[in-house]
Amino acid sequence: MNPTATELKFLLQLLASPQHRSPLDLLKPTPKISAADRVRLCQKLTKRGWVDRTETITQFGLAAPGRVLLGLDTTSLPVTPDELRLLQNCRDKTLRPDDLPDFLSPSQRQTLIQTLADRGLILILRRAITDVWLTPEGLDFLRHECEPKGTVPLVSGDLLGAYVQLLRHAMAHSSGSGNGDQSTGDETTAQQPQPLPSLAQVLQVICDLDRELNSGNYLPLFLVRQKLQPPFSREGLDGALYELQRNDLIELGSIQEVSHYTPEQLQAGIPQNVGGSLFFVSTR
């Protein structure tokens, strides 16, 4: 199935974005597209498997089972203190995550709200799509199956250039796959992978950057990536950061206000299936 003109431009805008990812509100396949139409377009392309997305909870309220629970003996409730505080805060009204007191970080709020919703204690009333990215299936579709038709100009030179680069990369990979035996010793040496820093070295880089830039122990991830990619790949650095977090050496926090950063800087975040991208790192 070929995409419509608007769908194709949406896909090409993602293709031209760093890492093929973008905040949804930065994508404008038509000049006057409404926020609601942009969401519907994203949902439609997600169902086809061409894009994927992260969502953040923007409004929630107390469910009937949660209200019953609050009426029970508080000494024996099957909830943690933080869960109880969250339930008590939404006892009489619907809330946004930002309405909660600062006893939780933004990422912790999203996780806790989703956990209570999964248990049927609160109702999620509204979600918002934050980040969108091309899936491998979407890239494969653009490379091999997409057949744009029509005579109306659809794309800018930048978007067309991104599409041409995708096709050239695919052709070069295909033509070069059989030439592995022709590489020289110098080329083989040049292709040797650089040794990756240890977790302790990654942690030290984070501490040094925080101190040098005076970021108040709230360091944006794009600064870490600038320092450590390479030798890390994006996925490798994500794995190292997750491992440091599992060891309680750092905390990764999501971003709520994107207007203070450029689209390129925002691409450095780690997308999450629930909540905004993880964008800040703090040491413990």
Write out pLDDT tens, residues 217-269. 888 899 999 888 878 878 778 888 888 888 788 888 887 667 777 888 888 88
**pTM (two decimals):** 0.55
Q: What does the alpha-carbon distance between residue 80 and residue 17 come to, in Å, rounded to a whole number?
A: 41
Residues 23, 112 within the same domain: yes
Whether 203 and 144 map to the same domain: the answer is no
Do 44 and 142 belong to one domain? Answer: yes
The residue out of 79, 113, 148 marking a domain boundary is 148
Domain limit, last residue, from 87, 119, 148: 148
Domain that holds residue 31: 1-148
Q: Is residue 95 part of a domain?
A: yes
Strand ranges of the sheet holding 250-254, from the earlier edge strand across to the other edge: 219-220, 278-283, 250-254
**Neighbour tally for 233: CB within 10 Å:** 12
Domains held by the chain: number:
2
Does 67 have pLDDT greater than 80? yes
- For the stretch 79-138, pLDDT in tens is 888 888 899 999 889 999 888 877 777 778 888 898 899 989 999 999 988 888 888 888
Same domain, 207 and 268: yes
CB contact at 8 A, 70 and 91: yes
Residue 146: partners with Cβ closer than 8 Å, 6 or more residues away: 2, 3, 8
- What mean pLDDT is reported for the chain? 80
What is the Cα–Cα distance from 99 to 96, expressed in whole angstroms? 5
Q: Do 130 and 203 belong to one domain?
A: no
Same domain for 78 and 203, yes or no, is: no
Among 115, 130, 148, the domain boundary falls at 148
Residues 17 and 123 in one domain: yes
